[in-house]
Amino acid sequence: MSILDNRAALKAEIYRVAEVAGYLWMKGWAERNGGNITVNITEWADEPMRSLPAISGTIAIGITLPHLKDCWFYCKGTQRRMRDLARDPMGNGSIIRITPDCAHYEIIADSPVAPTSELPSHLAVHDYLLAKNSPYRASLHTHPIELVALTHSKKWMEKDAATHMLWSMIPETKAFCPRGLGMVPYMLPSSVELADVTIKAIGDDYDVVMWEKHGVFAVDTDIMSAFDQVDVLNKAAQIYISSRNMGFEPDGMTDVQMKELTDVFGLPK
């Protein structure tokens, strides 16, 4: 018996997460247990679901997140592999409920799979998104190879340097990732400090944030949309690196050409 039984919309959302997890593994962006996914599923928590008892004790988040009161999340499990989540999302992840004090959570279903160790960081971002009435409900952390490679050069860590270059590689990058790529200098993974600067970068109007020498953190309305943004940005990085490997610096689109895209498609930047 699964919490997904007779809940078609919720099941579809969780299996969308499983689909994305499979893509991350196939692309080589999710080695071992690398990467994390959290999705706010509160809108699919019906009354019978809300009355379910917890299957874990009450667990401290480590911070108080006032906008997450009684919210529900699907979370990838700690030490679980994306390739395993792809075939069995409820065996390698869990559904949790934030308690009324906004400082603890309980595991509700299907098994007591402990959420990702980066849960406090992910939840802090979700709290921020709800506070500003954002429609974004999904967060993704993964390790796209070419984008991570760029961060090993200080040149591309300068504000919007990578954004401008990636946008110029192919028109679709600017069209489908119109807010660009925020850059965050190296910080200890899973740290509160990393969460804080990531939230600041999102607040500076980025949907995808690059963590130096580590990976990306992306937010969007659903997990597939978050994945799509990372996928498009990494394709642009591949085009740049392929050009360099062929022995030349790519010309890229001109500023005039990119301005035309912004004007014609009504892009935010």
Read off the pTM: 0.95
Q: How big is the chain, counted in residues?
A: 269
Q: Are the C-beta atoms of 20 and 223 separated by less than 8 Å?
A: yes
Q: What is the pLDDT of residue 179?
A: 96
Give yes or no for residue 129 having a pLDDT over 90.
yes
CA 57 to chain centroid: 27
Q: Are the C-beta atoms of 218 and 152 separated by less than 8 Å?
A: no
193 noted as active-site residue: no
Task: Give per-residue pLDDT as tens, 154-184.
Answer: 999 999 999 999 999 999 999 999 999 999 9
Please return the burial class of 54, using the count of CB atoms within 10 Å of its CB with bins 0-12, 13-18 and 19+: middle
Q: What is the pLDDT of residue 191?
A: 84
- Distance (Å, whole) CA 260 – CA 269: 11
Written as one string, the DSSP assignment of 195-246 is HHHHHHHHHTT-SEEEETTTEEEEEESSHHHHHHHHHHHHHHHHHHHHHHHT
Q: Where are the domains of the chain?
A: 1-118, 144-269
Quote the radius of gyration of the chain (alpha carbons, Å): 19
Q: Which CATH class is domain 1-118?
A: alpha beta
Residue partners of 57: CB distance under 8 A and separation at least 6 = 106
Which is the catalytic residue, given 13, 47, 106, 118? 118
Q: Work out the angle between the directed axes of helices 119-131 and 192-203 (0-180°, nearest 10).
A: 30
Do the domains 144-269 and 1-118 match in fold?
yes
List the CATH code of the domain at 144-269.
3.40.225.10
- Distance (Å, whole) CA 89 – CA 252: 40
Task: Give per-residue pLDDT as tens, 82-117.
Answer: 999 999 999 999 999 999 999 999 999 999 999 998
